[in-house]
């Protein structure tokens, strides 16, 4: 369970990283919208897991690899923004948040079940 301190710090990271991706994201991933869905921080605030969602991209794995390849640059920009608020700039680990894909897959399955039920009802 996260402490209040971890949640507060995660909120600061999410806000600042969102600003960085909004301003600088176009140079990393042109024509792609990057959304930070959640941030989890370790108890010592030294490691942050950032879950990203990508819109208007065909290959999310390639997108996350591009973000990870620019990890140092993103961390440096984050450090410049929050250096007066924290002692140590956390190590950033980026992951793909596949919640939207999961929801779409479940919606498709439910639609298929409803369609199958309608076909069974019409056959009887």
Sketch out the chain's domains with CATH numbers.
4-98 (3.30.300.20)
Q: How many CB atoms lie within 10 A of CB 21?
A: 21
pLDDT band at 77 (very low <50, low <70, confident <90, very high): very high
Helix runs in 56-98, H state only:
60-69, 71-82
Q: 31-52, pLDDT tens digit by residue?
A: 888 889 999 999 999 999 999 9
Residues 21/32, Cβ–Cβ less than 8 Å: no
Tell me the Ramachandran region of residue 45: left when phi exceeds 0, alpha when psi lies from -120 to 50, beta otherwise. left
Q: 85-116, pLDDT tens digit by residue?
A: 888 899 999 999 877 777 778 888 888 888 88
- How many Å from the N-terminal Cα to the C-terminal Cα in the chain? 52
User: Could you tell me the pTM of the whole model?
Assistant: 0.78
Q: 17-36, pLDDT tens digit by residue?
A: 999 999 988 888 888 888 89
């Amino acid at each position: 369970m996260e402490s209040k301190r971890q949640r507060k710090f995660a909120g600061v990271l999410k806000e600042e990283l969102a600003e960085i991706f909004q301003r600088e994201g176009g140079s990393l991933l042109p024509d792609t919208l990057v959304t930070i869905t959640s941030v989890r921080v370790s108890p010592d605030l030294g490691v942050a897991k950032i879950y990203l969602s990508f819109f208007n991209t065909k290959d999310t794995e390639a997108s996350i690899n591009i973000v990870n390849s620019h990890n140092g640059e993103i961390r440096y920009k984050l450090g410049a923004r929050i250096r007066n608020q924290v002692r140590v700039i956390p190590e950033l680990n980026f992951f793909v948040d596949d919640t939207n894909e999961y929801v779409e897959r479940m919606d498709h399955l439910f639609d298929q079940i409803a369609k199958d039920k309608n076909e069974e009802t019409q056959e009887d």
